[in-house]
Structure 1
Amino acid sequence: MIEFVLWFVTNIVLAPYNLLLAIANPAAWLNWSNPEAVMRFIYYGASVELFFVVFTAFVVVTLMGMFWRRSILWAGVRILEGIANAVGRTAAWAGLLMVLVQVMIVFLQRIFRVAEIQLGPLGTTLAMDLSWWAEGLKFYNALVVTLCVSWTFVQGGHVRVDLFYSKVKFRTKRVIDMFGAIFFMMPAIGLTYLYAWFFMWRHLMTPAVTSTSDLDRMLMQSRIFRWNVETIGFSPNGFNAYFLFKVLIVVFCVMVLMQAVAVFWRAYCEFVEGPESEDKYLDRDVTGSAAQDIEHAAHSGYS
């Protein structure tokens, strides 16, 4: 137990040093013309060092907001929720694009019996088999699912299994939110990220890397490093960029982790300031119809 505590404290103390070391030597992990730099990037992208850098930053900012200026936490909430809203509102247009492409496929296939669709934007020509466009619909759907999740959370659009939450007092709700963010959202998305990170890289390069590989072993593997981006579709002429799905899983994990931090900080600030601070600085979308906005608020559990 004492050894674990010493290890934990040591890594927290070293976190600022590791961060400054990475900032001061960007070529060591960002110069991707060097295979060793790629391997360092892969290793540190899911390393103990990165965990403690993120963890220490979260703890320091949280303590500053708790014991110095609460405005720091509110600023963090506004930044993180602003990113979630910006990314989600942009990615949501993929839903419209998905519908338009589906209509185009059905129309051209059923009426004109074409086997290939050609587009020529800005003087360039994109000619792909019909099956490529059809399989690509899954990518648009993945964009909506992975990039709109935090935005939907901010907007109160996720389904809430409300067993007792609505019956408890305001501050009790905030305690539940803080507990859920720390003990459910963060650990779950952290584990998902660790799996998704190496899963993504196994479809981008060879040799295969795993979470159990140490840095020295990965640097040795860099001698036989080569890019091997996954371009195999389910059909011979089908969608050939399935590696993008793996990238989206990693981005999804980062978005959810940021939202978990925002949930914790907002819940704490509202807990301290009381009911009058509920939904403070919250940027929610409106439909333009008061009746629809009221119905959405009722179904999402917000007053």
Structure 2
Amino acid sequence: MENENGAEAGGFFAAFFDGLIWFVQSLALGFYNLAYAITHPASWLDWLTWANTAEDKESLMRFVYYGGSTEFFFCVLAIIITVVGFGMWRNAFMWGCVRVLEGLANGVGRLFAWAGLLMVLQQIIIVFMQRIFTRPDISFGFGIPLQFDISWFAEELKLYNAMVVCLCVTYTFVQGGHVRVDLIYSAVSHRAKRVIDMIGSMIFMVPTAVLIWLYGWYFLWRHLITPNPAASYDLERLLRTARAVRWSVETIGFSPNGFNGYFLFKILLVAFAGLVFIHGVAFFMRSYLEWKEGEDSEGKYLDRDTLGDGEEAYEGVH
């Protein structure tokens, strides 16, 4: 029995060290791959000039593969480690990163929040066209050759809603607008709160965004190109299929005359994951800086909207 327990323990430690070695090697390769990608952009971005050449197709398949690969993950991790490590040495640099990333969340959110107004206006137009003018379609004048059935515009309202949900999520987070269920957070000290925030961002926020990205990336490309790529394909297999690749953008609606741009929802899913990941890192950096600098730094450089005469915006339910 002791020998069996010893063998199990030895196997565990061997697997642990093997995994640790793999992680360190992958991280080191992440720095190398990042430098290579920056110095050789044509190898994975040549498809943007799409001339339907063999080089374009191979660069597209490289882009598809690396977007959901472990190599890309470790490239991003290398960037984060570098930025956070330098920021711990120079806190002013980290504060600058926080302000830039939170500014990105606010800028994107404030822009696409207008989709809510567009959704309301379009719904009003649909009601008027159906109930008052009894028209089966809506067409635009002024030389714009755009005419769709009423059902197309009715289903397209989902896209506006998806824009608000996916692209305003981090903006709402920065503004403190998400509903929270608080059991212990409000009762602990300032530094304990920041520790909880750091752990939460790294244990829940960032890993969840990574999982959504990994599933959403190939889900997106399966509706944009054919032959359909799969997450299980390695780079060599994708490059072998590059000669047959062609654009096959999904344009099938749920109804005969309904909205047929559902591939846009796949793009929004990937954008959602990217924004949440980026802000998870920003939230970790803010929490670290507020933990290090104390209570006086709470809310430092935080750009929140105001209501009326300087009244702070709604900050969520605690």
Structure 2 length normalisation: TM-score? 0.90
Kindly tell me the number of residue pairs found equivalent between the two proteins: 296
The amino acid of 2:95's aligned partner reads W
CA distance in 2 between counterparts of 1:178 and 1:100 reads: 41
Post-superposition Cα deviations, 1:27-86, rounded to whole Å, max 9, x if no partner, equal 2111113211110000000111111111111112111121x2111111110010000000
Amino acid at match of 2:83: V
Give the corresponding residue for 1:8.
Answer: 23
What's the CA shift for 1:290? 5.5
Ranges in structure 1 where 5+ consecutive residues have no aligned partner: none
- What residue in structure 2 maps to residue 246 of structure 1? 266
State the match for 2:193 in structure 1: 173
How does the TM-score come out when normalised to structure 1?
0.95
The residue that corresponds to 1:25 in the other structure is 40
Q: In the alignment, does 2:277 pair up with 1:257? A: yes
Partners of 1:92 and 1:120 in 2: how far apart?
27
Larger-Rg structure: 2
Q: How does 1:59-208 map to 2 (within 5 A)?
A: 59-66=81-88, 68-120=89-141, 123-208=143-228
| Partner amino acid, structure 1, of 2:128 | F
Counterpart Cα distance in 1 of 2:260 and 2:215: 23
Structure 1 Cα separation of the partners of residues 170 and 178 of structure 2: 10
Question: Which deviates further from its counterpart, 86-95 or 5-14?
Answer: 5-14
Q: Distance in 1 between matches of 2:285 and 2:213?
A: 22
CA distance in 2, matches of 1:256, 1:288: 29
The CA deviation at 1:124 is 2.0
Other-structure match for 2:290: 270
Query: For structure 2, which runs of at least 5 residues remain unmatched after alignment?
Result: 1-15, 51-55
Aligned partner of 2:8 in structure 1 is: none
Distance 2:219 2:18 in 1: 32
Deviation at 1:166, TM superposition (A): 0.7
Give the 4+ runs in structure 1 shifted more than 2 A.
none
Give the % identical residues: 54
In 1: Cα distance, 2:215 partner to 2:32 partner: 27
1: CA distance, partners of 2:214 / 2:197: 24
Offset from partner CA, 1:82-134 (integer Å, 9 cap, x none): 0000000000000000000000000110011101101236x423211111100
How far is the alpha carbon of 1:6 from its aligned partner?
Answer: 1.6
The Cα offsets for residues 138-157 of structure 1, whole Å up to 9 and x where unpaired, read as 00000000000000000000
